[in-house]
Amino acid sequence: MENLDSDLLRTFLAVAQAGSVTDGAARIHRSQSATSIQVKRLEAILGRSVFDRHGRGVVLSETGRRLLPVAQDVTARLDVTLREISQCAVSGQLHVGIPDDHGRAKLVEIISAFTRHHPGVELVVTCALSTEFPNALEKGALDLAIYEVEHPKPQEEVLFEDPTCWMTSTHRDFPTGESLPVALFDHACWWRDVAIASLEARGKPYRIAYSSQSVSGVIAAVEAGIAVGLLGRSSLHSGLAAVDENLGFGSTPASKLVMAARGAKETQLQAAMKEAVRSAFQTTALESRPGCNFNKCAS
SS3 call for 68: helix
How does pLDDT run across 156-203, given as a tens digit for each residue?
998 888 899 999 999 998 988 889 999 998 877 788 999 999 999 999
Number of structural domains in the chain: 3
38's CB contacts (< 8 A; 6+ apart) are 7, 8, 11, 12, 30
Are 273 and 128 contained in the same domain?
yes
Calpha distance 292→233 (Å, rounded): 9
Of 85, 101, 136, the one marking the end of a domain is 85
Secondary structure (DSSP) of 3-48: ---HHHHHHHHHHHHHTSHHHHHHHTT--HHHHHHHHHHHHHHHTS
Does 235 share its domain with 170? yes
Q: Are residues 69 and 176 in the same domain?
A: no
80 and 47, same structural domain? yes
Q: Is 224 among the domain residues? A: yes
| Residue 120: domain span | 90-157+256-288
Predicted pLDDT at 134: 93
Report if residue 277 sits inside a domain.
yes
In a shared domain, residues 270 and 142: yes
DSSP string, 83-148: HHHHT----EEEEEEEESTTHHHHHHHHHHHHHHH-TTEEEEEEEE-GGGHHHHHHHTS-SEEEEE
Alpha carbon separation from 13 to 28, 65, 139, 262 (Å, rounded): 10, 11, 33, 25
Question: Using CA atoms, how far apart are residues 207 and 64, in angstroms rounded to an integer?
Answer: 48
Nearest to 297 by CA among 259, 236, 256: 256
Residue 275 lies in a domain: yes
pLDDT value of residue 65: 94
Write out the H or E segment, with its range, that includes residue 274: helix 268-288
pLDDT at 295: 38
pLDDT digits (tens, 9 = 90+) for 67-99: 999 999 898 888 878 766 765 566 789 999 988
Q: Is residue 15 part of a domain?
A: yes
**207 vs 199: CA distance, rounded Å:** 10
Rounded to whole angstroms, the Cα distance separating 149 from 222 reads 22
Is the Cβ–Cβ distance between 238 and 62 less than 8 Å?
no
* Separate counts of helices (H) and strands (E) for the chain: 9, 12
CATH number at residue 76: 1.10.10.10
Q: Does residue 296 form part of some domain?
A: no
60 shares its domain with 207: no
Using the CB atoms, write b or e for 63-93: b if 16+ within 10 Å.
bbeebbeebbebbbeeeeeebeeeeeebeee
pLDDT for res 15: 93
Tell me, yes or no, whether 153 lies in a domain. yes
Q: Which residues of the chain have pLDDT under 70?
A: 1, 83-84, 86-90, 101-105, 282-299
In a domain, 294, yes or no: no
Q: How does the average pLDDT of the chain come out, rounded?
A: 85
- CATH number of domain containing 203: 3.40.190.10
Dihedral over Cα of 52, 24, 289, 167: its sign: negative
180 found inside a domain: yes
Q: Are residues 151 and 284 in the same domain?
A: yes
| Same structural domain, 21 and 149 | no
Q: How far is CA 280 from the centre of its chain?
A: 10
One domain for residues 77 and 123: no
Looking at the structure, tell me whether residues 246 and 266 fall in a common domain: no
Q: What is the pLDDT of residue 87?
A: 55
Based on the domain organization, do 117 and 94 belong to the same domain? yes
Bridge partner list, 282: none
